[in-house]
Amino acid sequence: MNRIENLKKLEIENKIWDIAVIGGGASGLGVALDALSRGLSVVLVEKADFAKGTSSRSTKLVHGGVRYLAQGDVSLVFEALKERGRLLQNAPHLTHNQPFIIPIYTFFDRLQYSIGLKIYDWMAGRLRLGKSRFISKKETLKRLPQIKQDGLKGGVVYHDGQFDDARLALSIAITCNEMGGNILNYTKVNALIKNTKGKITGIQVRDLIGKKNYKIKAKMVVNATGVFADKILQLDQPDAPKSIQPSQGIHLVLDKSFIGGNDALMIPKTSDGRVLFAVPWQDKLVVGTTDTLREKAKLEPEALSKEIDFVLETAAAYMVKTPTKADVLSVYAGLRPLAAPKEGSTKTKEISRSHKVIVSESGLTSITGGKWTTFRKMGEDTVEKFTMVTGESIKESASANIHYRGYTTDPQEGHWQGYGSDAATIQKMIEDKPEFGDRLHPCYPYTVAEVVWAVKNEMAMKVEDILARRMRILFLDARAAIEMAPKVAEIMAQEFAKDEEWTNQEISDFEKTANKYILK
């Protein structure tokens, strides 16, 4: 992906794109992918970096949603299980089968979860990842050696998917770019362009890096901005009512030794009626999540102390070694774009996670709600509105079987896995220039070559893009990320031919962001 070349394509005289997508997270990328699979021309603009918002802050699960099954949202679970299977098939380098164990302390729980998970297995059909089953207390403790034994009767094992959310977003963005899409980060929409009849004919955008404005003509404009959807709806109609209710979920990242195995722990009932996960991810343990209503959508939301206490206390009830704030390597918060509830209702966990596609009078098409697992289906459902908006017919969707950039059924081990088939190319760079093999931090495997690769091939523009989303170190160990920042800034400055002032500003900006990931 070459950002300079992609910006030049915005200057082509009288070019009219079939679809202009606003938003480079899961839903926007799903729209771009599906539209390109039907032969439509697509431009996608993202005001920050790909997956900077909610789409890089998930629990890292590709799942049907056991909780939605308990709530009776059967059609959502069916859809999600089908999409889960496709995602594991299309991105084996970024997804894998993750076994979960629910510890069982009563006979009723054994019955309840065994039956519920058998239904979950049955619904997945041939895309099932493994059979759920009851295991003895002995096997439970062998697989989760650090969970409390008092009253433990055994466990129920079931299977779901796990993934690297930000790298998947990037892989899809590059795939879309290779399919002929024009994909851009750090490009902000300032206005919607309308004709005399009030119909939208394009968008006005600003390149936030080069400080230049562009007009993009498009037959259909899609608002896929997640928790920021209302901002675009208000550009369309200044008095548009609030349609999004942000709900915050936080995650604490601990050392993997707190559960001591490769299985994930699922705590099915917490004091707020949610479920809590403790999931091994990239050699650490991700524990979450919460569901807290927030008034405003923020690009960098922060965990509240009551949320941090809730996650630590709930986890401590199941773990032999009590986790404390001092054990937290990184804390991150994400905002779910829930449909704004009716007056007087505040129960976010009861709002369906299914997505909605809304077409306004001007033709602005907004996709709201949904979850990472169903991103492709969300895109398909949005592109289906193309005929209604433009009057033109389109081909059938062909996005279900597209392999994403880096696809390989035999990825390398460790952190190289996320690059898939590109890992060998980066390793060849190190072979040719041994200094590229230097590590960025003594405790972590990331190399100089990966920074150069991210700048040249993955549209990384800022230090944060690399340390938060190309490498996931900000989410895994925020203090280590701060220690790596000067080296990364220096390498990027060389690649971009930037001066010391740029380098210092980048380090300072990154530290400001990274400090929000550290518990004081």
The pLDDT tens digits of the residues spanning 414-473 come to 999 999 999 999 999 999 999 999 999 999 999 999 999 999 999 999 999 999 999 999
For the chain, the residue count is 520
Cβ atoms of 97 and 85 closer than 8 Å = no
CA-CA-CA-CA torsion for 126, 129, 130, 132, nearest 10 degrees? -100
Measured from the Cβ of residue 320, the count of other Cβ atoms closer than 10 Å reads 14
Place of tokens 């949320």: 307
Q: How many CB atoms neighbour CB 99 within 10 A?
A: 17
Give the SS3 label for residue 356: strand
What are phi and psi for residue 348, nearest 5 degrees? -70, -30
Ranges for all domains in the chain classified under CATH 1.10.8 = 422-517
Rounded Cα–Cα distance for residues 142 and 452 (Å): 43
Mean pLDDT of 498-514: 98
Amino acid present at 263: D
- Arithmetic mean of pLDDT, 122-135: 92
Which CATH number applies to 422-517: 1.10.150, 1.10.8, 1.10.1660, 1.10.3470?
A: 1.10.8
Residue 401 scores a pLDDT above 60: yes
Report DSSP state, residue 94: T
Averaged pLDDT for residues 240-247: 90
Q: Which helix (H) or strand (E) holds 20?
A: strand 16-22
For the segment 36-48, the average pLDDT, to the nearest whole number, is: 98
Question: What's the mean pLDDT in 216-226?
Answer: 98
The answer to whether the beta carbons of residues 285 and 255 sit under 8 Å apart is yes
Q: What is the pLDDT of residue 269?
A: 80
Q: What is the pLDDT of residue 283?
A: 95
Position 345 scores a pLDDT of 52
- Residue 406 contacts residue 94 (beta carbons within 8 Å): yes
Query: Start-end ranges of CATH 3.50.50.60 in the chain?
Result: 3-54+166-243+350-390
The pLDDT assigned to 155 comes to 97
Q: What amino acid occupies position 343? A: E
Who has greater pLDDT, 353 or 397? 397
Asked if 143 and 97 count as a contact pair (C-beta separation under 8 A), the reply is: no
SS3 string, 347-364, reads CHHHCCCCCEEEECCCCC
Identify the CATH class of 3-54+166-243+350-390.
Answer: alpha beta
What confidence score (pLDDT) does residue 353 get?
A: 62
pLDDT band at 343; cut points 50, 70, 90? low
The sign of the torsion formed by the CA atoms of 97, 163, 291, 21 equals negative
Q: Of 68 and 191, which is predicted with more confidence? A: 191
What beta strand segments (E) does 311-434 contain?
330-339, 356-359, 365-368
**CA-CA-CA-CA torsion for 227, 175, 127, 54, nearest 10 degrees?**
-20
pLDDT at residue 319, as a whole number: 95
From the list 198, 207, 124, 192, the residue with the least C-alpha distance to 160 is: 124
Bridge partners of 19? 42, 220
Mean per-residue pLDDT of the chain: 94
- pLDDT beyond 60 at 82: yes
Highest mean pLDDT among 54-68, 293-307, 339-353: 293-307
Mean pLDDT of 100-116: 94
Q: Measured between alpha carbons, how far is 418 from 416 in angstroms, rounded to an integer?
A: 6
- Is pLDDT above 60 for 349? no
At 520 the pLDDT is: 82
DSSP conformational letter for 465: I
Give the pLDDT mean for 13-22. 97
pLDDT given for residue 275 in this prediction:
85
CATH number of 95-163+245-343: 3.30.9.10
Q: Is the pTM of this model over 0.85?
A: yes
> Span 38-59, mean pLDDT?
97
Query: What pLDDT was estimated at residue 338?
Result: 85
Q: What is the pLDDT of residue 351?
A: 57
The pLDDT of residue 98: 96
The pLDDT of residue 272 is 74
Residue 301: helix, strand or coil by DSSP?
A: coil
Mean pLDDT of 110-120: 93
* Mean pLDDT of the region 395-400: 98
Answer whether residue 337 shows pLDDT above 60.
yes
Say what the pLDDT of residue 202 is.
98
- Mean pLDDT, range 160-165, rounded to an integer: 96
Long-range contacts of 425-433 (CB under 8 A, 24+ apart): 425/453, 426/450, 426/453, 429/453
For residue 324, give the amino acid letter: T
